[in-house]
C-alpha cells in the first residue's frame, strides 16, 4: 500500500490523506523513502532503527520505544500505513494526539497505564539521547509522576496524563522539547 499510480493506490492515498496531515506530494515522498529502506513493504526493528538514523538523531534505547508506538498492530513490523500515521501524529498531530502518543511511549508494557518504573525508564532514554546525566533529573521524574497520578493509585491513566501535562507548564515544555529533539 502506498502512493503510486493505480486505482487501488489512489484510493489508499486518499484514505491516508484523510487519516494524516500530509499532502499527496508529501505522502509520495514518504512512500518512496519508506520503500527504499523497507523489505517487502515492512520494516522490522533493525530496519526501522537504520531508517530513522538517516533522518533523526536517536539514542538506541529510545528507538525501541518509537518502534513500539508505530507498530500499531503489534506484529513486530511497521508497514507504510503505520509509519505515515505515526509520523503524522508526532510531527503534525493536535496537542491531544501528541500527548496520547507520548503516553503510549511511556506505557512500555502497553497495559493502558504508566508506572513509576516505566516513567523513569523512558526518562533515562530521553536523558541519554540528550546527553544529560540521570541522577538529579530522575528526581524530577518521580516528582512528575506524583503530580500526574491524581488519584494516588500508583498508576497514571491516559486521562490523568493528558490532563496533568496540560496543567504543568514545566512538564509540557519538557515533552515538547523531547518531541522537537526527536525530529531533528
pLDDT at 58 over 70: no
Q: What is the CATH number of domain 95-182?
A: 1.10.238.10
DSSP output for 18-70: HHSS--HHHHHHHHHHHHHH-BTTEE-HHHHHHHHHHHS---HHHHHHHHHHH
Measuring CA to CA, how many Å separate 81 from each of 13, 23, 30? 10, 15, 10
- Helix (H/G/I), strand (E/B), else coil: 178: helix
Candidates 24, 28, 26; CA nearest to 2 is 28
pLDDT in tens, 77-105: 999 999 999 989 988 888 889 899 999 99
The set of cell numbers assigned to 110 is: 502497553
Residues 93, 98: Cα–Cα separation, whole Å: 6
State the pLDDT at residue 39.
75
Share of residues in the chain with pLDDT > 70 (%): 81
pLDDT in tens, 148-176: 999 999 999 999 999 999 988 878 887 77
Pairing of strands 113-114, 78-79: unpaired
Measuring CA to CA, how many Å separate 95 from each of 71, 101, 183? 21, 10, 16
Candidates 182, 181, 164; CA nearest to 86 is 182
8-92, what's its fold?
Recoverin; domain 1 (1.10.238)
Q: What does the longest C-alpha to C-alpha distance in the chain come to?
A: 56
The set of cell numbers assigned to 7 is: 486505482
- Which residues, in sequence order, are bridge partners of residue 39? 42
- Helix (H/G/I), strand (E/B), else coil: 4: coil
Domain extents in the chain: 8-92, 95-182
As a whole number, mean pLDDT of residues 117-121 equals 89
- Helix (H/G/I), strand (E/B), else coil: 177: helix
pLDDT at 43 over 90: yes
101 within 8 A of 94, measured Cβ to Cβ: no
As a whole number, mean pLDDT of residues 175-183 equals 58
**Sign (positive/negative) of CA torsion 89, 90, 94, 96?**
positive
pLDDT at 136 over 50: yes
* 8-92 and 95-182 have identical folds: yes
Q: Which comes out higher in pLDDT, residue 69 or 182? A: 69
Amino acid at each position: 500500500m502506498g502512493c503510486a499510480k493505480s486505482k487501488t493506490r489512489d484510493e489508499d492515498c486518499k484514505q491516508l490523506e484523510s487519516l494524516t496531515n500530509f499532502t499527496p506530494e508529501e505522502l509520495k515522498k514518504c512512500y518512496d523513502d519508506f520503500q527504499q529502506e523497507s523489505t517487502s513493504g515492512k520494516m522490522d526493528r533493525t530496519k526501522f532503527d537504520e531508517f530513522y538514523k538517516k533522518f533523526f538523531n536517536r539514542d538506541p534505547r529510545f528507538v525501541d520505544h518509537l518502534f513500539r508506538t508505530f507498530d500499531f498492530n503489534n506484529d513486530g513490523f511497521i508497514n507504510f500505513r503505520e509509519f505515515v500515521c505515526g509520523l503524522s501524529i508526532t510531527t503534525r498531530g493536535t496537542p491531544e494526539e501528541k500527548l496520547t502518543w507520548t503516553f503510549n511511549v511511556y506505557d512500555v508494557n502497553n497495559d493502558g497505564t504508566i508506572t513509576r518504573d516505566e516513567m523513569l525508564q523512558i526518562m533515562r532514554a530521553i536523558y541519554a539521547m540528550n546527553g544529560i546525566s540521570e541522577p538529579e533529573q530522575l528526581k524530577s521524574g518521580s516528582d512528575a509522576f506524583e503530580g500526574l497520578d491524581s488519584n494516588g493509585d500508583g498508576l497514571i491513566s491516559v486521562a490523568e496524563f493528558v490532563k496533568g501535562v496540560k496543567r504543568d507548564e514545566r512538564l509540557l515544555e519538557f515533552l515538547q522539547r523531547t518531541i522537537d529533539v526527536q525530529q531533528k
